[in-house]
Amino acid sequence: METQGRQAYPMTLTQFILEEQHHHPTAQGDLSILLHAIEIASKYVSAQVRAAGIFDLYGVEGTTNVQGEVVKKLDVIANEAFITALKRSKKVCVMVSEENEHPIVVEASLGKYVAVFDPLDGSSNIDANVSIGTIFGIYHRKSAKGTTDYTEDLLQPGNKLVAAGYTLYGTATMLVLSSGNGVNGFTLDTTAGEFVLTHPNIRVPPKGNIYSVNEGNSAFWYEPVTRYVDSVKNPPKGNPYSLRYVGSMVADVHRTLVYGGIFMYPADKRSKQGKLRLLYEANPMAFLMEQAGGKGTTGTGRILDLEPKGIHDRCPVFLGSTDLINELEGFFAAASEDKAAL
């Protein structure tokens, strides 16, 4: 839209959420309010991440800064920000955070949603000023209001997600969101303090030539992963894939969404369940990947169909371009056929 030769200010995230709400005439605006809470917490965390070096927010929880004040680690600050914002929304009855061993119950809440999140993912990169992020997922509450047992709310498979997304604290801060109707990306305009729509309808390219994995673990990989990685490094024809690995899931998945490719955190002989957490890392990212036209698999099945047994369960994770994930699954299928033939 043009106004007298000048481009109009892009649609803000708040406007976008309201617009989506209007497409659901029965919606009461609860999800919009909840997503707005995530937006607020993301802006706050972004500001804290940007200021961390200046105000001594790196380092170990409980240490004192130069003024003799107790320093809160950035991941503690982020956790508190998301818990507080979601509680204040009054739309959530229970939450799971990577930082909390137990579910966070919102006392006397009538909230009809459940939130799962990793408030600041990429812990090994926080103190080095490398991109980090928040990952979140939203479910409908299943339990009756007034219950004290939230098990059925918390252990829902990813195919029941209502919305999911991440905030990337990178060179720019971006919030990437899906509420089941495609994926849209918003960049934080720090001059106006608003997330604005910069990446409408993100589609992951069906092909790609980047693989992303911690290859330092290759000595412990199972055969299908070893063989697949070997195949992309030594293709019979064409160029080998490039390796890109930040070690922050949000950054690696964001690049995969935009450029195509494959992100992997496999199970291996040391970590038999894998490293990444099903509820608040694997599922939200698999949901986004599928909503963008890509795939998310454990190698032998769809991530979103896994039935969680515990709130901090882990699972193997492969996300990315459809053609690449299909090829990878071919290596897993071949390995199980070899085993069956023995």
Which residues bind to ligand AHM, rule: CB under 6 A? 98, 118, 121-124, 214, 247-249, 252, 265, 275
In whole angstroms, how close is the CB of 118 to ligand AHM at the nearest point?
A: 6
Stretch that binds Mg ion, among 114-122, 155-163, 172-180, 328-336 (CB under 5 A): 114-122
In whole angstroms, how close is the CB of 336 to ligand AHM at the nearest point?
A: 26
Question: Which amino acid is located at 12 in the chain?
Answer: T
290 lies in the site for Mg ion, by CB under 5 A:
no
268 lies in the site for Mg ion, by CB under 5 A:
no
Could you say which of ligand AHM, Mg ion, none residue 14 binds, taking C-beta under 5 to 8 angstroms by partner kind? none
118 lies in the site for Mg ion, by CB under 5 A:
yes
20 lies in the site for Mg ion, by CB under 5 A:
no
- By rule CB under 5 A, what string of x and - marks binding of each residue 92-111 to Mg ion? ------x-------------
In whole angstroms, how close is the CB of 314 to ligand AHM at the nearest point?
A: 10
Total of chain residues touching Mg ion, rule CB under 5 A: 3
Could you say which of ligand AHM, Mg ion, none residue 84 binds, taking C-beta under 5 to 8 angstroms by partner kind? none
- Out of 75, 121, 194, 252, name the contact with Mg ion by CB under 5 A: 121
| Distance of alpha carbon 116 from alpha carbon 137, whole angstroms | 5
Residue nearest to Mg ion (CB): 121
Question: Which amino acid is located at 333 in the chain?
Answer: A
Polymer length in residues for the chain: 342
Q: How far is CA 53 from CA 59, 63, 181, in A?
A: 10, 15, 38
Smaller CB separation from ligand AHM, 35 or 249: 249
In whole angstroms, how close is the CB of 249 to ligand AHM at the nearest point?
A: 3
Could you say which of ligand AHM, Mg ion, none residue 290 binds, taking C-beta under 5 to 8 angstroms by partner kind? none
Smaller CB separation from Mg ion, 98 or 290: 98
What's the distance, CA 31 to chain centroid?
18
39 lies in the site for Mg ion, by CB under 5 A:
no
Could you say which of ligand AHM, Mg ion, none residue 181 binds, taking C-beta under 5 to 8 angstroms by partner kind? none
Could you say which of ligand AHM, Mg ion, none residue 12 binds, taking C-beta under 5 to 8 angstroms by partner kind? none
Could you say which of ligand AHM, Mg ion, none residue 109 binds, taking C-beta under 5 to 8 angstroms by partner kind? none
Could you say which of Mg ion, ligand AHM, none residue 10 binds, taking C-beta under 5 to 8 angstroms by partner kind? none
In whole angstroms, how close is the CB of 331 to ligand AHM at the nearest point?
A: 21
SS (H, E, C) the chain: CEECCEECCCCEHHHHHHHHHHCCCCCCCHHHHHHHHHHHHHHHHHHHHHHCCCCCCCCCCCCECCCCCECCCHHHHHHHHHHHHHHHHCCEEEEEECCCCCCEECCCCCCCEEEEEEEEECHHHHHHCCCEEEEEEEEECCCCCCCCCCHHHHCCCHHHCCEEEEEEECCCEEEEEECCCCCEEEEEECCCCEEEEEECCCCCCCCCCEEECCHHHHHHECHHHHHHHHHHHCCCCCCCCEECCCCCHHHHHHHHHHHCCEEEECCECCCCCCCCEHHHHHHHHHHHHHHCCCEEECCCCEHHHCCCCCCCCECCEEEECHHHHHHHHHHHHHHHHHHHHC
Give the binding site for Mg ion (CB under 5 A). 98, 118, 121
